[in-house]
Amino acid sequence: MDAVKEKRYYGWYMVMVSAIIYALVYSTTSTGSVFTISITQEQGFSRSLWSSKSIFTCIGSLISCYMSGRLIQRFGLKRIMLISTAGVASTFFIPLMFTDIRQYYVLSVYSSATWCAATIMSVPILINRWFGPKKKGIAISLALAGSGVGSMLMSPLLSYLCENYGWRKTYIFEGVMLLVVMLPLIYFTVVECPQEKGYTERLGEKESTGSGASAGKTVLTGVPYKEGIKSIVFFTVVMGIMLIQICNASVTNHRTPYLTDLFNGNAVKAASISGIAIGSLTIGKIVLGSLCDKIGVKKGLLLGMTSYFCCLLMLFLSIYSTNFIYLYLMFFCIGGSVGTIVTPLIVSTVFGDKDYGRYLGTIQSITAFGTPIGNMFSAYVFDKTGGYSGAWMVVSTAALIAIPMIFISIVIANRKRAKLPVSMKEATV
């Protein structure tokens, strides 16, 4: 496609819609901690009892990630996006009459299942259908960047509404917002594939005609699902992503308490540094995605994961000098973005696009266990030692181990692809 046609390419509208989905649907769930104090005080729940919802959230994520790919193949992407988004909206109306913590546990399974289907499963599949290897990195990063922007905007808004109008009215606001804004947006704008708009190939295909026209429909190739899940490469990819998820959860859920202790109880300074870290991810995702397109996914992710290791190392070294925190922020901008970008890109790169949804769902469902593992690990270390130094040392090592696992997976995939006939090759990285 020439430059003019690229600018008018309908897939960019899909990126914009995806970013809005992450900004509104993703952020409404990710900012749930805003309601912790209000709900626990009113209902008489302890913090630990309330926090145990994360176990049930993980169960919902597991079910959703495993089933979403299959449901999308059978019923269509747009239909699943509409149903799951409506499901997310309903989770803000259902608990208005709850009084028992067990009701919230059941809701956590349902809420997590619908949220995963609407965001971390649907969006990467939609982007993958519209963009080829040359543009996929920037497209997915722009879409996922919506989460950072949404969280920064929604968190203070929801805090204000909750404080002034109560959590129930705030819940109603969130539910109505999703129904009124997101459902019409998805229904009227989402197009499942380029062919429905008259395009014959995805933007950014390796073998492009230059005009965007080709003799026939784009053929998505890749490793058959039943064959791929039995390979050593699949195991290596899963373990690499799992280690990254463990590291993310270990740090994300304990960063602010650690910084508060580090700065002698200065909670404002700790929150400010955490806010800067989260905000920088919006830029970091876009930069990392662009790099993956320009220098290849292999080199891009290698750079991102190396930066991630460095930022965790700086966090560990900050125990000895607080100045290392500023180096942590510098590396985190790019490195911290790996957690959200690595999975959709590595799945497409290693296994191809043919069974992309099934691979993505299976890997997301397995690696979802990294979140509670990482969270509980750091909490356990703190309870036993009174600090986080041991946790930061372990997660730094885990990130270092993940680098060769992801790198080797891509190398092996490219070598296997090189042995295929030219007509059957996918784009190399």
Residues 178 and 233 both lie in one domain = no
Asked whether residue 260 falls in the same domain as residue 130, the answer is no
Task: Specify if 23 maps to a domain.
Answer: yes
Indicate if 129 and 46 belong to the same structural domain: yes
Angle between helices 77-90 and 167-177 (to 10 degrees): 160
The pLDDT of residue 176: 95
Going from the C-alpha of 72 to that of each of 61, 190, 239, the distances in angstroms are 16, 14, 26
Same domain, 32 and 120: yes
Residue 230: CATH number of its domain: 1.20.1250.20
* Residue 287 burial (10 A CB sphere; 0-12, 13-18, 19+): middle
Give the chain's domain count: 2
Residue 99 lies in a domain: yes
pLDDT classification of 220: cutoffs 50, 70, 90: low
Tell me the average pLDDT of the chain: 83
How would residue 417 be classed by pLDDT, with cut points 50, 70 and 90? low
Q: Residues 137, 255: one domain?
A: no
Q: Domain for residue 214, yes or no?
A: no
What is d(CA 428, CA 420) in angstroms, rounded to the nearest whole number? 12
Residue 215 has pLDDT above 60, yes or no: no
69 and 120 share a domain?
A: yes
d(CA 124, CA 139): 10
Rounded Cα distance between 341 and 201, Å, is 23
**Residue 354: DSSP 8-state:** T
Please indicate, yes or no, if residue 108 is contained in any of the structural domains: yes
Please check whether residues 182 and 243 belong to one and the same domain.
no
367 inside domain: yes
Mark whether 164 and 242 lie in a shared domain. Answer: no
Do 181 and 234 fall within a single domain? no
Domain stop point among 144, 172, 192: 192
Give the Cα separation of 51 and 33 in Å (integer): 10
| 26 and 127 part of one domain | yes
pTM of model > 0.75: yes
Residue 231 and residue 186 share a domain: no
Q: Helix, strand, or coil here: 154? A: helix
Range of the domain at 156: 7-192
The tokens for 211 are: 């005009």
Residues 248 and 370 reside in one and the same domain: yes
429 found inside a domain = no
Domain boundary pick from 150, 168, 192 = 192
- Band the pLDDT of 208: cuts 50, 70, 90: very low
Q: Does residue 11 contact residue 104 with C-beta atoms inside 8 Å? A: no
- Give the pLDDT mean for 20-40: 77
Whether the per-residue pLDDT at 148 is higher than 80: the answer is: no
Q: Flag whether 121 is in a domain.
A: yes
Give residue 16's pLDDT. Answer: 94
Rounded distance between C-alpha atoms, residue 280 and residue 275, angstroms:
8
Query: Residues 351-394: pLDDT tens digits?
Result: 888 888 888 888 888 888 888 788 788 888 888 888 889 999 99
Over 60: is that where the pLDDT of 423 sits? Answer: no
- Cα separation of 212 and 134, whole Å? 14
pLDDT tens figures, 246-290:
998 888 878 878 888 888 888 778 777 877 887 788 888 889 888
Q: Is residue 290 part of a domain?
A: yes
Among 142, 173, 192, identify where a domain stops. Answer: 192
Query: Measured between alpha carbons, how far is 334 from 427 in angstroms, rounded to an integer?
Result: 25
